[in-house]
Structure 1
Amino acid sequence: MTDPGDTGAALDGRIEAVLDRDGLDALVRVLKQRGRTVIGPTVRDRAIVLAELDCADELPHGWGVELEAGQYRLRERDDGAVFAHSAGPQSWKSFLHPERVRQWTAERGSGGELTVHQEEPRSVSYAFLGVRPCDLRAIQILDRVMSGGRYEDPAYRSRRSGAFLIAAECTEPGATCFCVSMGAGPAVDAGYDLALTEVLDHGGHRFLCRSGSEEGAAVLAELPRRQSDDATRTAATGAVSQAAERMGRSMPPVDLRTLMRDNLEAERWDDVTSRCLSCGNCTMVCPTCFCTTTEDVTDLTGDHAERWSRWDSCYDLDFSLLHGGPVRASARSRYRQWLTHKLGTWHDQFDSSGCVGCGRCIVWCPTGIDLTEEAHALHREATEKETAP
């Protein structure tokens, strides 16, 4: 191990070091000592989920996943890898933008007086361990949506402002991953406090760790570590490069924004919506879908009332309800709204795509609808029409 005062090699303004299993254990311990609630992947209910961690032993050592459209299966590995699994059913949105948040409460006194209490966001100092590159991009997109414009969400800002992000570069993509098509991985280059790249080769099981912020460098300085070396750096870069070549899915190599805009009346919309259940699963697991609605509830006496914000979905028939009925009454119009917004009109609102290529919507669709397949089908239909005599 290096001298405690040595933070590792400095390359291009970054601090790099190599951690082993002891270093990973210490990382969780140091973060907890700094008062942070550490959230990371762990095995539960036959899936890899995100939950609070007490120690690094709770990480999914030796577990991977098998993914396909409408299918998810946990599988045991024989190499002890910690981060060799693809995106699970949850995203970090669950912690930054929870599915249900109370906004205020109201009490009516015995004399009829009304007292309203604004709900203050609970102060939490999160440390997110093992953030995938696609999810790191999703957090950046949520930042733009929830706190980057005129109408900031103070609850989101409170949770997000102090979050410490530890990225885990992807070295083993799943069959439904397509982050390369969306420019969201498998490497990370910004937006993190620490970045880990897992390496398993003849040199042993280790993690190349580099800092992306002052706090990240300070945390790294407290960990048992050794100087980064060319062999580890080369192995880490190679593993990430190979992951980019092994994506299970891809988008058509066209301007998706234009593709969506110019094909609103394509016949393919009828095909996909004949299979769509309008269940909203895709919006619930999506790391960037942010829509909410509000609901007011009272107790049986009527003296206590609460207002809650909860996730909503554009697949809900009442989502576009106006006087006289819903704007989007058909499943066709609702699916088209979701896909064209995600890949197209999101640019108009937030200057980026709303898709990061994590593939969750493909895996957790009960009928196995694949948005990459639909994009390719729309492209083929448009091409055939252009070339038809």
Structure 2
Amino acid sequence: MKFIDLGGLQALLAALQQRGYETIGPVRREGAIVYDRIDTVADLPAGWTDRQAPGRYRLERRTDDALFGYAVGPQSWKRYLFPPRQTLFSVQRTDDGGLVFDPQPIDAPKRAFIGVRACELAALGVQDRVFAGGEHVDAAYAARREAVLLVAVNCAVAADTCFCAAMDTGPAVRGGHDLVLTERIDAAGHRFLVEAGSDVGAQLLASLPGTPARAGERAAARAQTERTAAMQTRGIDATAVPALLMGNLEHPRWDAVAERCLSCANCTLACPTCFCSTDQEVTDLAGAAHRERSWDSCFNVEFSHLGHGSVRGSVKSRYRQWLTHKLATWHDQFGQSGCVGCGRCITWCPVGIDITEEVAAIAADDRRTAP
């Protein structure tokens, strides 16, 4: 564990690049903080923070030059591991009328994710369980995941929509990382407390210029993260919500939220754990057919379409499916919640639907009957 300055952070990026990693991190673009390639520390969003609320996201200037002084933006890391669109295989007809099937080569570049938050590490763990934790492993996902190095950041701010503390996924990083940074701006200057979480991370840390962290400085860094947790005002009783929702499937609150919901799928696209997809066949001008997988959503009518029509024809049924799966039946399927409390679904809902508010409303009027 040591402190590094801005020069040390640049040395970390250089060390990763020298080891063949493409460095991906936060950048400010078109009014939001998104993830993209970064080459130097200058590419990071110095001095910017985000103001989030249901259906609202804005960037504002900070009073300092913090590089990670924001919560989370519209994108999640899943787009690098589970791309929005990917070709699975191609089929070409031969001159004699036969068919040649050509599987798409797996593209798994070495990447270092810079600035991964605790809730996002939890989300990666959820997707690991979905795509690589069962009997049927998604080979492309597994290969991409294996090639990733994770540089996490302990949160120093919480957005109004964050509730990771209630989901026990943050704001402090507790595992699943190679390195974790705690950004400190105080009388001693602009520094980063760096801790290793893996052997690879320890090797990188040893190569960086810096100074050993004293006990008092480590305690101050922990206190900063604890203050971030105390900033959060939203919450869900993660242990009680599965039985609550499954016991209130006909609650009138589902009708009330359906009157507001646009069934636009923004929440599922912004969510770092949602994994619904669909396959389709496309052809090119050369006569080859390609099977492509792309993101889909349980909010789309066609997603639940069977031979006789859609199983969930109403917005009410689709919203109820999403929320009960995310917070309740995900436990049955994967042994954990599908929500990590990042708040993206609240911020990026055009009409500001707040899942913590919906759960609270059902809890306040619990209509389960005693057995």
Fold equivalence (TM over 0.5): yes
Preserved CA contact (<8 Å) 2:154 2:180: yes
Task: Show the counterpart of 2:213.
Answer: 228
Task: Show the counterpart of 1:154.
Answer: 139
| Aligned AA (1:227) | P
Task: Show the counterpart of 1:288.
Answer: 273
Task: Show the counterpart of 1:9.
Answer: none
| Aligned AA (2:65) | G
Q: Name the SS for the 2:317 alignment partner.
A: helix
**Cα RMSD (Å) of the superposition?**
1.4
CA shift, 1:204, in A, is 1.7
Pick one of 309, 315, 325 that aligns with 2:293.
309
1:210 lines up with 2:192 in the alignment: no
Task: Show the counterpart of 1:340.
Answer: 324
1:79 lines up with 2:64 in the alignment: yes
Pick one of 23, 32, 39 that aligns with 1:54.
39
CA shift, 1:299, in A, is 2.9
Q: Distance in 1 between matches of 2:258 and 2:363?
A: 17
Task: Show the counterpart of 2:79.
Answer: 94
CA shift, 1:231, in A, is 3.0
Pick one of 150, 171, 174 that aligns with 1:189.
174
1:353 lines up with 2:353 in the alignment: no
CA shift, 1:254, in A, is 5.7
Task: Show the counterpart of 2:363.
Answer: 379
| Aligned AA (2:312) | R
| Aligned AA (1:238) | A
Mapping of residues 257-272 of structure 1, within 5 Å: 257-272=242-257
- Greater CA drift, 354-363 or 253-262: 253-262
1:171 lines up with 2:156 in the alignment: yes
TM-score, normalised to structure 1's length? Answer: 0.93
Pick one of 122, 134, 144 that aligns with 1:137.
122
| Aligned AA (1:343) | L
Preserved CA contact (<8 Å) 1:252 1:379: no
Structure 1: which 5+ residue stretches go unaligned? 1-15
Percent of aligned pairs with the same residue? Answer: 47
- Output one character per residue of 1:158-192: Cα deviation in whole Å (capped at 9) or x when no partner: 10012101110111000000001111001111111
| Aligned AA (2:338) | G
Q: Distance in 2 between matches of 1:253 and 1:31?
A: 38
Q: Distance in 1 between matches of 2:108 and 2:229?
A: 38
CA shift, 1:109, in A, is 2.5
- Output one character per residue of 1:230-270: Cα deviation in whole Å (capped at 9) or x when no partner: 23212111100111111142124761111111111101000
Task: Show the counterpart of 1:241.
Answer: 226
Q: Distance in 1 between matches of 2:284 and 2:211?
A: 60
Q: Distance in 1 between matches of 2:369 and 2:239?
A: 15
Task: Show the counterpart of 1:29.
Answer: 14
Q: Distance in 1 between matches of 2:217 and 2:181?
A: 12
Q: Distance in 2 between matches of 1:168 and 1:323?
A: 48
Task: Show the counterpart of 2:311.
Answer: 327
Preserved CA contact (<8 Å) 1:199 1:232: no
Q: Name the SS for the 1:263 alignment partner.
A: coil
Q: Distance in 1 between matches of 2:212 and 2:33?
A: 32
Q: Name the SS for the 1:101 alignment partner.
A: strand
Task: Show the counterpart of 1:8.
Answer: none
- Output one character per residue of 1:125-154: Cα deviation in whole Å (capped at 9) or x when no partner: 111110000000000110001000011101
Q: Name the SS for the 2:366 alignment partner.
A: helix
Preserved CA contact (<8 Å) 2:108 2:147: no
CA shift, 1:100, in A, is 0.4
Q: Name the SS for the 1:382 alignment partner.
A: coil
1:105 lines up with 2:90 in the alignment: yes
1:250 lines up with 2:250 in the alignment: no
Task: Show the counterpart of 1:10.
Answer: none
Q: Distance in 2 between matches of 1:310 and 1:123?
A: 18
| Aligned AA (1:332) | K
- Greater CA drift, 139-148 or 104-113: 104-113
Aligned residues: 370
| Aligned AA (1:74) | L
- Output one character per residue of 1:19-67: Cα deviation in whole Å (capped at 9) or x when no partner: 1111111111110000001111011111100001111110111110010
Q: Name the SS for the 1:209 alignment partner.
A: strand
Task: Show the counterpart of 2:111.
Answer: 126
Task: Show the counterpart of 2:48.
Answer: 63
| Aligned AA (2:344) | R
| Aligned AA (1:313) | S
Preserved CA contact (<8 Å) 1:85 1:173: yes
CA shift, 1:386, in A, is 7.4
Q: Name the SS for the 1:294 alignment partner.
A: strand
Q: Distance in 1 between matches of 2:151 and 2:181?
A: 7
CA shift, 1:115, in A, is 1.4
CA separation of 1:222 and 1:253: change in aligned 2, threshold 3 A: closer
Q: Distance in 1 between matches of 2:233 and 2:72?
A: 13
